[in-house]
Structure 1
Amino acid sequence: LTRAPGQEKGVKWESAGDGTYTIEACDKTNRGTTIMLTINEEHRNPERPGENFLNRYVLESLVKKYSDYIRYPIKMGFIREEKPQDAEGKIIEDAPAAQVVEVRTLNSQAPLWTRPKNEIKKDEYHQLYKNIFVDWEDPLEIIHSKVEGAVEYTALLFIPAHAPLDFYRSREHDAGIRLYAKNVFIMDKCRDLLPEYLRFVRGLVDSPDFSLNISRELLQHDKQLKLIGKNLEKSLIKTLENMLVKDRPKYEKFWREFGTDIKGGIYADYQNREKLQTLLLFPSSIKAEELTTLADYVGRMPEKQQVIYYATGKDYASVERLPQLELLREKGLEVLYLFDRVDEFALDALQEYNGKKFQSVSRGDLNLDELETADTNKNAAEIAKENEALIQAVKEQLSGKISDVKISSRLKSSAVCLVSDDQGISLSMEQILAEVNKSLYKAQRILEINPHHPVFAGLKQLHETAPASDAFKDYCALLYDQALLIEGLVPEDPIGFANKVAALMARQVETK
């Protein structure tokens, strides 16, 4: 029932909730609006307290959730019992308790984000963040912005100090931004506002342009929402860039919590790769305990170094033991260390930084021609030509397992290693894809042998004296299995490998 000022009659609007309604004139004494609701049986059942809309505390929680920041007070009477008092204000203990109606205001009415930033204390931001997003710790960073123009909105975003326990265990993590329309809560966990790589951001967006009954399906096609999302994405990237430059310890704290998502964004978001690459941090062979940016790495490169080297492994110790690092370590060249599963995929997507291509120490050629002397390059070519027949024989013995056998220029103390071709995926990528049941993707395996290792001399002698012998075949198989073990791969025939090692040990004892 409603009656406008100056009108003698009111208007009655009535509906059964079936999509139809009636409107008619009615008598109404006072101006204003009165709304009367009839609650269905299923929503006034005392046995289902959480859905009982006649329960005052259920109504209070709904108001808090959806209308806490409406600028007008929402009041409700709460019944409580209290004993009467005498003339002096003392409680009459023997008197029966009487029911008293206490009128309470349910909503806070004043949205923090609508106030000017210079009037808001940091503690107020922190308290709002903890209350809404149920976190025990203050946020790492706060972004509060008000935008007017093609689209009008106020955004209050928070970067948490720590990732939730289930953040990387499940992609269905409780993520998303809250949406408000003129201070009225309309949607929780809106995932369509920010890209997946920013899913760690918590916060809210309030816009008068949002519809109160907007659905998730409509959001996917909402141009205004997409424009707001793009603006927020740019703002977040800029905030992280400033943090990296102005407060490195704070940024490194952020990176250890959410860096994996930024790297995932480089792999998945083509449009923002150039911006995101400046945010990358990696440990390296020179600064083991520190993290370095790509810009810092390039700034330390020797003038003749043409590529950015990186190595993959499960941790620092395992990467340090890689035989593929031996030559680079000898020359004092810095190598980025990649420990996260997404790291190599991210660099593979980037391909280069500042004109310098990324080069895995375990893929293709190391591109050291400019750093080697002419005599060194000449000697390497002569050794390869001199041992062409041996290399071809080893390749034939390992046919079906490898794509090529090469004399190695990267090994110094180790006998053998496996690398992959520049074209296609790497060995570490192959392992990761196999773990997610995508074993169809295989790396082109290349066996590299160190021509200066005593094992090579023994292999060469066997080839010259008994190329068809079981001993030569076993040597070839053992070198391949050894290379697999170095890469963390299991030999295709572990029992056969063990038997060959035992036979080799036995022959060594017999010769003595």
Structure 2
Amino acid sequence: MAKKQFKAESKRLMDLMINSIYTHKEIFLREIISNASDAEDKLAYRALTDDSVEVKRKDLKITIVPDKEKRTLTVSDNGVGMTKDELESNLGTIAKSGSLQFKQELERDDKAASKVDVIGQFGVGFYSAFMVADAVTVISRAYGAEEAWMWQSAGTDGYTVTQCEKETPGTDIIMHIKPNADEENYDQYLETYKLQELIKKYSDYIRYPIVMEVEDYRQKEKPADAGEDYKPEWETVKEWKTLNSMVPLWQRQKSKVKPEEYNAFYKEKFGDWQDPLTVIHTSAEGAVTYKAMLYIPSHTPYDFYTREYEKGLQLYSSGVLIMDKCADLLPDHFRFVRGVVDSQDFSLNISREVLQHTRQLKVIASALEKKIKGELMKLQKEDREKYETFWKSFGTQIKYGVVAEYGQHKDLLLFWSSKEGKDTTLAEYRERMPEDQPYYYYACGESAEKIAKLPQVERILDKGYEILYCTEDVDDFVMRGLGEIDGKAFKSVNDEDALPQSDEEKKMAEEKAEAGKPVLEAVKEALGEEVKEVRASSILKSGAVCLTADGPVSLEMEKYMRKVDGDRAARAQRVLELNPDSAPFAALQKAVEAGDKDTVSKYAKLLYGQALLLADLPLEDPAEYAQLVCSLMV
């Protein structure tokens, strides 16, 4: 029979199909199996609408047969099959989708559509076979027809259609696998282990059984006359095995899924050895229809805070895996969430590997974000212990989100409370706040224990006010990004105006500063460019010294940027604050009045070193500081 040419600029289009459209060659099996599933669906639909079609859904299946000797991989279905004209139309015209036409017809029959789930729509998936095969044979017999037809092609040089024999209705796709190339291992597509892996990965939730003969090892039956020293013997057997799960867990009703099933799915699918903290099983119907099953892990993945970690949810369309990690469905602050989303409403590109950015995507992403936030708030209020477990693992990520989103999700935050001695939410802090308290107070440091000993927290605590202890690098950025809550702003204990002063207190402070001016000037001269200013402190009560900063860069920001940029980090404009009522200030004053510049210099450097240590900042020269301390002891 004369060879026919493909239609619609097919040589160029076929070349594009084989070399450009699909990112991964292994996708071919997903596409061929999806086509087989559509063929089963079409016959199942006929059985629903035509009493003469005596087909039971439970008898429909997809069969995989690899043959290493012949180098063929056969995917067979016992679905609707194709006539000669349908073979010509569907396979002779690239991008002509019989499934799309069938899907459009289904839309007129809601009852049948609910029981049939056609996958294909572009009419190109079949040709993905040519990525791994140098020749493809299709043998098909339409249901109800007596004759069968064989379509054959080696790619862009066209195809032939000839009559052949086939005992039962359905379609066999026989792919002659290419020989191995320099960088391509085509042999793997003839290995049962690889085929099982691909089916599990991409087609696990095809609704019809996918069966293949596989080798298994089992223990031989113990002989009746075996003695006590009998050692069990094993044998290799071949048996037909169903490789796919068929019904996704997320398609089942929540009330019928046991916690251990959720946990087993999570650990198998996402490679975790621990149970998740919680699962969110949700669905929506309407303008956008989807089902989702989201997990919040119980611990931080080892690479979570590295560049190698990839966020994203597994994306399915009609039970077929489209993307392993769809990043657009998760905001960065919830990047720790793992899970799956299944929807027919996603707009996919022609290879069904890439998601188009559409309104539906944004709607689903927004809805999932609200679900995740709602579940976390529920944990926070109803199971605090579990929420604190979550917070230890992913609290830093939430804080990054609060900074990036200008205070959004601040109700998820936890900070250590000076009053409660445990973590607290901002809402709980607000409930305990005295009426006369002007601000939310916070202090930054390496640990709650160290912060509690900072001299600048003393005056706030003595007022009976609660302080939030911030022990992470990002905390200062968080506090500065929170703005106000109920009209009350956030104030660092380092801020000079953290406690409002009366006119009398202001006047007294000014008088002390004026009286101590010679000391302040002498200390500034001794320290030079190490500090921007030396001032009489209004934030110290009994402590002698502390370090604060002027300008947009705080001391905490400087410490954070030191870790990121090292010596190139922006430096805060440091201010050395001295308590004019302290004994060290009196000693300085005595040395200044005596004109003892050497002692003034030693005292100034000593106090500055102490201020650096209190602020968890490094000493410029630890050896010099140690010698200075020793010299003053002599």
Length-normalised TM-score, structure 2: 0.70
- Cα drift, residue 244 of structure 1: 1.6
The answer on 1:240 being equivalent to 2:363 is: no
Letter in 2 for 1:457: A
> SS in structure 2 opposite 1:219?
coil
The change in CA–CA distance for 1:181 and 1:409 in structure 2 (over 3 A counts) is same
- Separation in 1, partners of 2:435, 2:506: 19
Equivalent-residue separation in structure 1 for 2:298 and 2:545 (angstroms):
45
Alpha-carbon shift at residue 10 of structure 1 (Å): 5.2
Q: Given the superposition, is the C-alpha separation of residues 215 and 359 from structure 1 closer, same or farther in structure 2, using an over 3 Å criterion?
A: farther
How far does residue 147 in structure 1 lie from its aligned partner after superposition?
1.3
- Correspondence list, 1:134-213, <5 A: 134-168=271-305, 170-173=306-309, 175-210=311-346
Q: Is the 8 A contact 1:138 1:161 kept in 2?
A: yes
* Aligned partner (choices 428, 438, 451) of residue 319 of structure 1: 451
Cα pair 1:2 1:28 within 8 Å, conserved:
no
2:451 is paired with a residue whose SS is: helix
Q: Residue 35 in 1 paired to residue 166 in 2?
A: no
- Structure 2 counterpart of 1:194, which letter? L
> Aligned pair in 2 of structure 1 residues 207, 389: CA closer, same or farther (>3 Å)?
same
Comparing 252-261 and 378-387, the one that deviates more: 378-387
- In the other structure, the counterpart of 2:426 is 294
The answer on whether the counterparts of 2:347 and 2:356 sit within 8 Å (CA) in structure 1 is no
Once residues 265 and 483 of structure 1 are traced to their aligned partners in structure 2, the CA distance between those partners, rounded to angstroms, is 32
- Cα drift, residue 291 of structure 1: 0.9
Give CA-to-partner distance per residue, 1:236-274, whole Å, 9 cap, x none.
01111122222222222221221111111111234xx33
Q: Which residue of 2 aligns with 1:393?
A: 522
Tell me if 1:368 matches 2:499. Answer: yes
Change in Cα spacing, 1:215 to 1:9, as seen in structure 2 (3 Å) is: closer
Question: Does the residue aligned with 1:358 lie in a helix, a strand or coil?
Answer: strand
SS at match of 1:180: strand
Question: How far is 1:213 from its partner?
Answer: 6.5
CA distance in 2, matches of 1:267, 1:11: 65
1:331 aligns with 2:471: no
Question: 1:493 corresponds to which residue?
Answer: 621
Deviation at 1:229, TM superposition (A): 1.6
1:206 Cα offset (Å): 0.9
Q: Distance in 2 between matches of 1:173 and 1:450?
A: 49
Letter in 2 for 1:112: L
Cα distance change, pair 260–74 in 1 and its aligned pair in 2 (3 A): same
Kindly indicate whether the alpha-carbon contact (under 8 Å) linking 2:348 and 2:356 is maintained by their aligned counterparts in 1: no
**Matched letter for residue 285 of structure 1:** S
Q: Name the amino acid aligned to 2:450.
A: S
For the 8 Å contact 1:13–1:21, the answer to whether it is kept is no
Distance 1:256 1:171 in 2: 21
Structure 1, residues 292-316: CA drift from partner, whole Å, max 9, x if none?
1111112222222222111111212
* 1:463 aligns with one of 592, 598, 608: 592
Residues 192 and 15 of structure 1: CA distance in aligned 2, closer, same or farther (over 3 Å): farther
Q: Does 1:104 align with 2:241?
A: yes
In 2: Cα distance, 1:63 partner to 1:478 partner: 70
Q: State which of 105, 118, 136 in structure 1 corresponds to 2:255.
A: 118
Cα displacement (A) at 1:11: 5.5
The 8 Å contact of residues 11 and 23 in structure 1, kept in 2 or not, is answered as no
The alignment status of 1:284 with 2:421, answered yes or no, reads: no
Q: Give the structure 2 partner of residue 347 of structure 1.
A: 479
Of 266, 284, 287 in structure 1, the residue corresponding to residue 402 of structure 2 is: 266
* CA distance in 2: counterparts of 1:368 and 1:115, whole angstroms: 58
Which residue is equivalent to 2:106? none
Indicate how the Cα distance of structure 1 residues 453 and 81 shifts in structure 2: closer, same or farther if over 3 A, else same.
closer
Q: Does the CA-based 8 Å contact 2:533-2:576 persist in structure 1?
A: yes
Secondary structure at the counterpart of residue 150 of structure 1: coil
Q: Work out whether 1:402 is the aligned partner of 2:531.
A: yes
Q: Distance in 1 between matches of 2:572 and 2:285?
A: 52
Bigger relative CO (Cα 8 Å, ≥ 6 apart) = 2
TM-score by length of 1: 0.85
Equivalent of residue 54 in structure 1, options 190, 197, 213: 190
Conserved? CA contact 2:313–2:324, under 8 Å: yes
Shift of 1:481: 2.1
Q: CA RMSD, aligned part only?
A: 3.2
The percent identity for this pair of structures is 45
Is the counterpart of residue 474 in structure 1 residue 579 in structure 2?
no
Paired amino acid for 1:154: K
Q: Is the 8 A contact 1:192 1:220 kept in 2?
A: no
CA-CA distance at 1:6 after TM superposition: 4.8
> Counterpart in 2 of 1:504?
632
Using the TM superposition, name which of 219-228 and 55-64 deviates more.
219-228
The question of whether the paired residues in 2 share the 8 Å contact of 1:186 and 1:213 is answered with no
- After TM superposition, give the deviation of residue 9 of structure 1 in Å: 5.8
Contact 1:181 1:212 in 2 (8 A): no
For these two proteins, the number of residue pairs brought into alignment is 482
Structural mapping, 1:366-445, within 5 Å: 366-369=497-500, 374-421=503-550, 423-437=551-565, 439-445=568-574
- 1:178·1:187 contact (CA, 8 Å) conserved in 2? yes
Return the alpha-carbon distance in structure 2 between the equivalents of residues 100 and 443 of structure 1. Answer: 73
In 2, Cα distance between equivalents of 1:142 and 1:459: 63
Aligned partner of 1:35: which letter?
A: I
Contact kept, 8 Å, 2:347 with 2:355, in 1: the verdict is no
Q: Which residue of 2 aligns with 1:509?
A: none
Give the conservation status (yes or no) of the 8 Å contact 1:311–1:337: yes
Q: Secondary structure at the match of 1:472?
A: helix
- CA–CA distance in 2 between the matches of 1:80 and 1:301? 68
2:159 corresponds to 1:22: yes
CA contact (8 A) 1:146 1:155 kept: yes
User: Take 2:349 and 2:481, find their aligned partners in 1: how far apart are those partners?
Assistant: 40
Aligned-partner residue type, residue 470 of structure 1: D
Is the Cα–Cα contact under 8 Å of residues 137 and 161 in structure 1 kept in the other structure? yes
Secondary structure of the structure 2 residue equivalent to 1:130 = helix
Residue identity opposite 2:424 in structure 1: T
Structure 1: runs of 5+ lacking an equivalent: 91-97, 507-512
Q: Is the 8 A contact 1:180 1:206 kept in 2?
A: yes
Q: 2:367 aligns with which of 214, 221, 231?
A: 231
d(CA) in 2 for partners of 1:14, 1:269: 57
> Aligned partners of 1:99 and 1:295: how far apart in 2?
64
- Do the aligned residues in 2 keep the contact of 1:142 with 1:158 (CA within 8 Å)? yes
